Structure 1
Amino acid sequence: MLHDLPADARTLGADLRALRKARGLTLADMAGRLGRSVGWLSQVERDLSDPSIDDLRDMAQVLDVSISSLFRVSSSPGEEGLIVRANRRRPIGNRAAGLVEALLSPDLTDDFEVVHSTFEPGASLPAPVSRPTQEVGYVVSGRLYLEIGDQAFDLGPGDSFRIRGEPFRWHNRTATPCVAIWVIAPPVY
């Protein structure tokens, strides 16, 4: 059961609370959207109550995240909340066809999140998006065409970028995947 975890372990409840706050939602706002009581949601966020799969699906929809991002991959003893092994990354998002993302941060409770993004050949974000975040990215391999505001950039390995709430979109115009590391504050996944 969730509430049997050590008090200092990062939990589903802590992740849900962080996501809710990052979206500017109060307990009452989110509970209302879920058709649940504030007390129930508070207990879930404090790991005193376990949500059902249907509850998790509804929460993911309200928080605009994939349901898979709410499930944790088990850690080795003593590593919970500290270490993320390469073969135990939590898949997140996949909102755009051809974009595969995994959480590099141990959880979503920090003021930022670190994301491993793989942009498949030909993948693109069709319309610009803007979000109330500050983001820094680093291209590890491949090439990424990035538009920030009204400027366009062709980025390769070792290049980095920053987005401060401006509208942006991306495109991998090559025949090989592009891998980038993104740091996003506050967390959005």
Structure 2
Amino acid sequence: MASIAVRSEQESSERLLAGDIRALRKARGLTLAEIGLRLGRSVGWVSQVERGLSIPSLGDLRAFADLFGVPVSLFFSHDVPIEKERGVVVRAGNRRRLGTSDSGLVEELLSPDLGGSFEMLRSVFAPGAELKTEARRPTEEAGYVASGTFDIEISGVWHRLAEGDSFRFDGKPFRWRNPGAEPAVVIWVVSPPVY
């Protein structure tokens, strides 16, 4: 009986991984053929990975992470101990962490997976952290400052936000910084998902 439960949990994690890879490919506007070419793999293999029929090796996961511009840690921590909560609930202790404190930004995926039309993140910006180079994504983004002070530049205009303030922009260039002495916590929503 225990081996059936372990196998079921493993299959569930494999389905979540497959869905995340498919969602990232679609969010980047890439075809199966383009992914296969960039990874040096066949289109059939990429398709099987996306359908959960082939399990990528750790090296393959690193290659996917590099290709999509995400940390390899995104592909792990799919463990949801209660079956009925898989794909629905994310418990505080089971969030997937992205980034490191060394980078000044640590994000936690609040969404159960990357398969929906948006993703929700809890972003913690260290004091003094900043995105120096302007970023621009083909996404609609919104955020809510849960604590701290947070500056965001949207299309060349800086906005200073405090706890309780929020923002939204669509496909515009942006930068951010934490000018305060305390971490800034921002709940960030991105559509379509980019992680």
Q: TM-score, normalised by structure 1?
A: 0.93
3-state SS of paired residue (1:65):
coil
Tell me if 1:21 matches 2:26: yes
1:109 aligned onto 2:118: no
Structure 1 residues 177 and 63: CA distance shift in structure 2, 3 A: same
- Structure 1 stretch displaced more, 94-103 or 148-157: 94-103
Change (3 A) 1:41 1:157: same
Q: CA 1:187 to 1:145, structure 2 compared with 1: closer, same or farther past 3 Å? A: same
Does the alignment pair 1:122 with 2:128? yes
Does the CA-based 8 Å contact 2:15-2:52 persist in structure 1? no
Unaligned runs of 5+ in 1: none
Look up the equivalent residue of 2:85 and give its one-letter code: E
Write the distance in 1 (CA, Å) between the matches of 2:72 and 2:43: 21
Alignment correspondent of 1:151: 157
Aligned residue in 2 for 1:52:
57
- How many residues align? The count is 187
User: Aligned residue for 2:179?
Assistant: 173
Q: Could you list the per-position Cα deviations for residues 77-125 of structure 1 after superposition, in whole angstroms to 9, with x for gaps in the alignment? A: 2211011000110012459820000100000000100000000001000
**Native 8 Å contact 1:10 1:80 kept in 2:** no
Q: Distance in 2 between matches of 1:160 and 1:178?
A: 13
2:3 corresponds to: none
| Alignment partner, residue 62 of structure 1 | 67
More helix per residue: 2
- Aligned AA for 1:53? L
Point out where structure 2 has 5 or more consecutive residues left out of the alignment. Answer: 1-6
**d(CA) in 2 for partners of 1:73, 1:110:** 16
1:113 and 1:183 in contact (8 A); partners too? yes
SS at match of 1:162: strand
The equivalent position to 2:81 in structure 1, one of 76, 87, 93, is 76
Deviation at residue 5 of structure 1 after TM alignment? 2.8
What do you get for the CA RMSD once the two structures are aligned?
1.9
Q: Which amino acid aligns with 2:187?
A: I
Question: What TM-score, normalized to structure 2?
Answer: 0.91
